[in-house]
Amino acid sequence: MTVSRALTIAGSDSGGGAGIQADLKTFQELGVFGMTAITAVTAQNTLGVQGVYPLTLEALKTQIDSVAEDLSPHAIKTGMLFNADMIRLVSQQIVHYGWENIIVDPVMVAKGGQSLLQEEADEALITSLLPLAKVITPNIPEAEVLTGMEIRTLDHRKDAAKRLVDLGAKNVMVKGGHDSTNDVVTDLLYDGHTFHLFEGERKETKHTHGTGCTFAAAITAEISKGNNVLDAIQTAKAFIQSAIEDQLGFGSGHGPTNHWAYNKRNVYR
Ligand SMILES: Nc1ncnc2c1ncn2[C@@H]1O[C@H](COP(=O)(O)OP(=O)(O)OP(=O)(O)O)[C@@H](O)[C@H]1O
Ligand SMILES: Cc1ncc(CO)c(N)n1
């Protein structure tokens, strides 16, 4: 049996709900062997980000090389990339190793509003990394920054998704978590030809720390197994819905989601 392997290139979240920690937990729950290249260590909890400590470019490059040269990941996810130099380095490494299953979560700010990406890095994200993405998963504010468009409606989201495909992404998933206008959360996928909607019941909760990381990690895990993008997103949507619904209630701010909820009924009886 071949065990699928996925690499996450992202920041560490000491609080355990987002970043590298969310990615590894999600990979594990979906039966995928997880590997990491850490861009920055953050001190975070449910109340906010208390510190951001980037690693050197050399440290990031060596981690990616170590994984690439011996462990051959089947899919690669990027999360918090911190600055333009890291984005360019990661893009060069992806091209160098000929990796194709690239899932880009264009992390810019944490739920509490603190910046996780330096402002001048937006351009590098658009020009270097976006064209390499098999799937890019912006939330609404990130899609606004990447396209320069104001997004108020689903039609605006469709226009933004088209713009991002024009910029080179193969599939664009504009998530709906930030649109709280109705009881259904709708995520919109554009594959360059067709729009697909993925709907879930909106849970009234402040415990949504790391939802974006977890969702993108689940897509990555499913793609690493050889699934197509639509099937991968279907599973990822079910995974994040369970993780949000089955509240842990930790901390006094934006608490983490429950990464083992999806498997709970089968495994943890
Ligand atoms: N309150 C909610 N109820 C149900 N589903 C939600 C809710 N909030 C977010 N989601 C789902 O979670 C996934 C992530 O979406 P979201 O827009 O929250 O990402 P994000 O803002 O990038 O997350 P973060 O930056 O905190 O990691 C999407 O599938 C979205 O539909
Ligand atoms: C390290 C890290 N990556 C991503 C996010 C976005 O949820 C976060 N809060 N922290």
Q: Tell me which fold the domain 5-268 belongs to.
A: UDP-N-acetylmuramoyl-L-alanine:D-glutamate ligase (3.40.1190)
Distance 34 CA to ligand 2 centre (A): 17
State the CB neighbour count (10 A cutoff) for residue 201.
10
Going by C-alpha positions, the residue among 171, 168, 164 that lies closest to residue 195 is 171
* Catalytic residue numbers, as ranges: 175, 208, 210-213
Which secondary-structure segment (H or E) carries 11? Answer: strand 5-13
* pTM of the predicted protein model: 0.97
The residue with tokens 């899932």 is: 103
Q: Where are the domains of the chain?
A: 5-268
Query: In tens digits, what is the pLDDT along the chain, a chain of 269 residues?
Result: 789 999 999 999 999 999 999 999 999 999 999 999 999 999 999 999 999 999 999 999 999 999 999 999 999 999 999 999 999 999 999 999 999 999 999 999 887 788 888 888 999 999 999 999 999 999 999 999 999 999 999 999 999 999 999 999 999 999 998 888 889 999 999 999 999 999 999 999 999 999 999 999 999 999 999 999 999 999 999 999 999 999 999 999 999 999 999 998 665 54
Is the C-beta atom of 213 inside 6 A of ligand 1?
Answer: yes
Any ligand 2 atom below 6 A from CB of 257? no
Surface-to-core class of residue 258, CB atoms within 10 Å of its CB (0-12 exposed, 13-18 middle, 19+ buried): buried
Global ipTM? 0.98
How many CB atoms lie under 10 A from the CB of residue 113? 8
Q: Decide: 172 and 159 in contact? Cβ < 8 Å.
A: no
Ligand 1 pocket, residue 151 CB under 6 Å:
no
Q: Tell me if residue 121 falls in helix, strand or coil.
A: helix
